Amino acid sequence: MRYLFSILLLGFLTSCIGVRVNYDYDKTTNFTNYTSYNYFSDISSGLSELDERRLVRVLDSTLQAKGYLLAEEPDFFINILSSEFRSAPNNSVGVGVGGGGRNVGGGISVGLPLGNSGIQRQIQFDFVDAEKDALFWQATSESGYRENASPSVREERLRAVVHKVFSKFPPGKK
């Protein structure tokens, strides 16, 4: 029962994650020409070593499920960049005082922020053609991040990011 509750709680927490993704790609690219991939050897993702390994593991399983192969001499290379920033609180309450009568009025208003500002993580995925050395697809995700999250929660959040980012890859498939 405890195990089931833990899984339900983890599922609920990961379903509440809001992942926003922006895509860009070269419209002239024929994505059917790409069948294999690898990562840049000098990748500097900005993630911790453990999070980088988690992300690569999730990314590998997602791309391989889509039919791409990890190869020594790939058709395209993947670069990953990330950054963290503190977002401003998005909720506030306005408190006002006013009065008036006989055509005379006045007022004072103050906005009070509610809640703390959250830490956001931005992860950018660049796909670069190995032969042409040209960027042909890029996605940037933005989602909430907790530094003190457990390893399983971190992996689930990265899994949610990768799932959302690659839900529309390759573009043009309907």
Q: Give the CATH number of the domain where residue 37 resides.
A: 3.30.160.670
Question: DSSP strand E in 26-133: where?
Answer: 36-39, 69-70, 76-86, 91-101, 104-114, 119-129
Confirm whether 62 is domain-assigned.
yes
CA distance 133 to 129: 5
What pLDDT is attached to residue 14? 44
Into how many domains does the chain fold? 1
Confirm whether 83 is domain-assigned.
yes
What pLDDT is attached to residue 15? 44
Q: Is the Cα dihedral 133, 134, 136, 137 positive or negative? A: positive
Confirm whether 59 is domain-assigned.
yes
Task: Convert the pLDDT of each residue in 46-80 to its tens digit.
Answer: 888 998 999 999 999 999 999 999 999 999 999 99
Confirm whether 160 is domain-assigned.
yes
Confirm whether 107 is domain-assigned.
no
Tokens of 44: 């500097």
What pLDDT is attached to residue 172? 73
Confirm whether 103 is domain-assigned.
no
**pTM for the structure as a whole:** 0.70
| Residue 60, Cβ density class (10 Å: 0-12 exposed, 13-18 middle, ≥19 buried) | middle
- Structural domain of residue 67, as residue ranges? 19-88+115-168
Confirm whether 6 is domain-assigned.
no
Per-residue pLDDT of the chain (174 residues; tens, 9 = 90+): 666 555 545 554 444 458 889 999 999 999 999 999 999 988 888 888 998 999 999 999 999 999 999 999 999 999 999 887 776 555 555 655 566 666 665 556 655 555 555 778 899 999 999 999 999 999 999 988 777 788 888 889 999 999 999 998 888 754
Confirm whether 126 is domain-assigned.
yes
